[in-house]
Amino acid sequence: MSSDTKHALVVGNVRAPHVILEKLGYRISWLCKRSLNYMHSMADNNRCQNIFNYSGDNQEQIIELAQLINKYDKVDVVVAFHDAAQLDAIAIAECLGLPFNYQPNTLHYTRNKDTMREVLKAHQLTELKQSMVADVEQLETFYQTYPEIDKIILKPVEGTGSEGVSIFARAQLAEQSTSPLEFPLLAEEYFSGQEFSVEGFSQKGKHYIIGITEKFKGEGTFVESGHLFPARLTDEDVKLVQEYVVNCLIALEVTEGITHSEVLLNEGRLEMIETHTRVGGDNISELVKLTTGVDLYYLQTHNALGEIIAEDKILPKPTGKHACIKFQFNIDVQGKIKAIEGIDEVKSWDNVIEADANYAVGAILPLTTQSLDRSAYAMVEAQDAHSALALADKAISTIKYTLE
């Protein structure tokens, strides 16, 4: 197929940058991993020239599919906007003789939590002790090796969305409370503190911190119940967090693209939880855009296309406002939804940007055990942090489900 427009092959299940590619005049072929929780829309079908679903993690098959696409319509650029797809995208780009903005080492260091911890340890950027454990015996060995440790975090080495993450105490070994564990897992020394995410952008090895997001968790869970941007931090702590994250990104060999880094802060001590080479989820990008004018997806897309972005597009221009999103948890009973109330009322309020239920009448409302289970959300803006938090809490509590 011949055309004056360029052809972009998009790998992975993030659709937001497609709008930017379309505005830039690109024809889009989308390689999308099949998922029960991810549906194509009419807008996707109208925007994309081709949409191909693939199943599983067979990289060889994905490369062959990309080669077939390229055979009939030459691909000019390969892009991927989620870290789960970027290793596949690198392999495709290499096969097609095209550049890609991330290097394999960067993705290995950032995606594998055990490797990330080892790299940070080598650069004296973490004090946490950790080890991969394949079974209960190895978990017991970990505790024997570090007798001073009581509580640990157990998590999948490449997990996402808080799925499979749990706190485990030494006493649970004696109580034989290990049956629910799905090995292998990363065992990591427990560190408590206030949690933040740091939204960053890197270009030619120069690192920019766009801002810091304050995070909230559901009681007794690792599932995020909300985000506030910018975070309520002193200037001293802002500088501390920014410098720490930049040093971590340098150690992890990040030189290009968007980053979303999660950290814990406790009395001046910082620990990296994890970092991602993608835009943060949960509409954090909208919170950032509302309060700074910076479009994270714009930066991500133009960087992926190999462009040099002017600092005017990168540097935040704070409005002085705060933006907040809160999520509703269903912790009581699951069942078939009979009615949903409060959505239209909340949408009519001043300073509510967006609000909606995540399930429709007739669907089964699940108990909230991971991010995908949350039942509703409300995003607001206000002149100060206190007002933004209060409005978001009021909005989310007004949305109500009635079950049969």
Q: 269-276 and 335-341 as β-strands: parallel, antiparallel, unpaired?
A: unpaired
Render the burial of 55-68: b for 16+ CB within 10 Å, e for the rest. eeeeeeebbebbee
Amino acid residing at 353: I
Question: Which residues make Cβ contacts (< 8 Å) with residue 143, sequence separation at least 6?
Answer: 149, 170, 173
- Domain 7-100 in CATH 3.40.190.10? The answer is no
CATH class of 129-189: alpha beta
On the question of a common fold for 196-319 and 321-404, the answer reads yes
**Strand, coil or helix: what is 267?**
coil
8-state DSSP, 64: H
Closest CA to 9 of 71, 123, 93: 93
Q: What is the DSSP string of 196-258?
A: EEEEEEEETTEEEEEEEEEEEE-TTSSSEEEEEES----HHHHHHHHHHHHHHHHHTT--SEE
Q: Indicate the domain borders of the chain.
A: 7-100, 129-189, 196-319, 321-404
As a whole number of angstroms, the distance between CA 335 and CA 338 comes to 9
8-state DSSP, 399: -
> Which CATH superfamily hosts domain 196-319?
ATP-grasp fold, B domain (3.30.470.20)
- pTM score, two decimals? 0.94
Q: Which strands form 206-217's sheet, in the order they lie side by side?
A: 269-276, 257-266, 194-203, 206-217, 224-229, 322-328, 376-382, 352-357
Question: Phi-psi category of 257—alpha, beta or left, where left has phi over 0 and alpha has psi -120 to 50?
Answer: left
Residues 384, 386, 387, 389, CA torsion sign = positive
pLDDT per residue, tens digit, the chain (404 aa), is 456 799 999 999 999 999 999 999 999 999 999 887 778 889 999 999 999 998 888 899 999 999 999 999 999 999 999 999 999 999 999 999 999 999 999 999 999 999 999 999 999 999 999 999 999 999 999 999 999 999 999 999 886 656 778 899 999 988 877 778 889 999 999 999 999 999 999 999 999 999 999 999 998 888 999 999 999 999 999 999 999 999 999 999 999 999 999 999 999 999 999 999 999 999 999 999 999 999 999 999 999 999 999 999 999 999 999 999 999 999 989 999 999 999 999 999 999 999 999 999 999 999 998 898 999 999 999 999 999 999 999 999 999 999 99
Q: What is the CATH number of domain 321-404?
A: 3.30.470.20
Find out whether 295 and 258 touch, Cβ atoms under 8 Å.
Answer: no
As a whole number of angstroms, the distance between CA 288 and CA 322 comes to 9
Token couple for 320: 């002085």
